[in-house]
Each structure stands twice: as structure tokens, then as C-alpha cells.
Amino acid sequence: MPPPRHVFAGAALLVLGSGVTQSDPLAPFHVVQRRFAAPQPAPPPVEVSLNRSANQGGTALAARTKGSAAAPVTVYEMSDFQCPYCREFALGTMPLFEREYVQAGKVRFVFINLPLSSVHKNATTAAEVAMCAARQQRFWPMHDLLFRHQDRWAALASPQASLLALGDSAGVDHAQLARCVASRATATDVRTDAERAQRSGATSTPTFYIEGALLEGAAPVTVFRAVLDSIYQSKTAAGAR
């Protein structure tokens, strides 16, 4: 496994495009540019509304968000359910991350689908199942089970039955989930997520968009501490003045 590439240092630091501020809650879905790249015209911001009809029916960001809306820092994870590095983050780093930052009220954490279907043939199907579970407000239990049992469904030619069985364990209504999956009711949601993630600059998974910059790879919690503690102190100090 190559070391995580943290796009937070030196010439690799990313900043928001023209017209977008770092406090913008839609920031992950705006074009970003490199701070130290050769001068060039800034691209126009990508106009996105997270409240449009494609995100109605329980698949809005709220269904896959952890933490308080009042948290001073927002972290967006762009992830693929079949990605082994995403699994590593979900099962290894995320519990510590959640305890230290989300439950402490410092960070709001949002999951964005970025299935890399060219290399992970079942990733899109898994994302659609997770979004169907989100319509029943069971996204996070489904999220955890998909990663925990990734080796069970990832290599299957037809993973639907296995994924529906995980839905039963997640407490999702089986018949409703089966209808949602069979009709591909959330396919547009997943595709829209992926398009927005790509516009943010994400090309691999997991990628984390944090207040205007990208951090790539399944970084250990120590890396997140270094980044988030600095941002949190800066933002809360600014608010106290």
C-alpha cells in the first residue's frame, strides 16, 4: 500500500476557486485550484444545490452526516464501499476520529459516494444499497456492515442478495430495500455524488475535503489530529475575537 498522499502541505495545498469562501457549506462541490501553481484564470465555481429533488426522500446529506450542524469544522469523506483503504479508515481510524472530533462537537462529518467502478465492479451497487438504506434513516449501520463484510460481497458476480442480507442486519425494512435496489431508485443520487466529488478534485478514495483542502488516503488519526486541531483552533479563535 503506498503511503497516503496528504494534499495539505507546501505546493500541494488546495484552495477554493474564485467566489467561494472556506466557510461555504457547499465548498466540497466547488472547483478548487492549487495555491502555488502558475498564474491562470480562476475557474468559475460549480453551482450546486444539495436541496434539489435528486437528494429528496431521505438521501439528503443529513441522512449520512454525523455531528452537529454548529460544529466549526466540516469534513467530507469521498469514499468507495469496495475500496480496501476506505475500509481501513472506516474500521480503524473512524471510531477514534468520531470520539475525538465528532462527539466532542468539533467536527461535522459527511459521507460522499465516489465509487471507482472501473476497478471495483460492485462499488456502485453497494453505494446504491447504502443510499436506499439512507431513505430509511439507516445509512450508518449499513455503511458499517458494508465495510465490515466487504470481503463477503466484493468479489461476487451478483452481490444483491448478499447486500440485502446486510440490510436485514442493519435494521432496514427488507421489502422496501429490495424495491429500492431493484428499481435503482438511488442511482442518480450516487452518480450526482460522484460528479460533485470529482469537481472537488478527488481522483482516488478515500479523499477528505477539509475546509478548502484535500487529504488523500487512509491517513492515521495522528494526521487528522495535526490538521484538524490547527483548523479548529484557528476558527474558534477567530470566532472569539
The tens digit of pLDDT for each residue in 101-137 reads: 999 999 999 999 999 999 999 999 999 999 999 999 9
pLDDT for 59 equals: 55
pTM of the model: 0.79
Q: Are the C-beta atoms of 22 and 16 separated by less than 8 Å?
A: yes
Is the pLDDT at 235 greater than 50, yes or no? yes
Q: Give the up-direction half-sphere exposure of residue 1: CA atoms within 13 A in the CB hemisphere.
A: 12
Is the pLDDT at 17 greater than 70, yes or no? no
Is the pLDDT at 89 greater than 60, yes or no? yes
pLDDT for 7 equals: 45
pLDDT for 191 equals: 96
Please state, in angstroms and rounded to a whole number, the distance separating the CA atoms of residues 232 and 75. Answer: 12
The tens digit of pLDDT for each residue in 134-181 reads: 999 999 999 999 999 999 999 999 999 999 999 999 999 999 999 999
The tens digit of pLDDT for each residue in 148-160 reads: 999 999 999 999 9
Task: Compute the mean pLDDT over every residue in the chain, rounded to the nearest whole number.
Answer: 80
Q: Report the percentage of the chain scoring pLDDT > 70.
A: 74
Name the region of 184 (left: φ>0; alpha: ψ -120 to 50; beta: rest): left
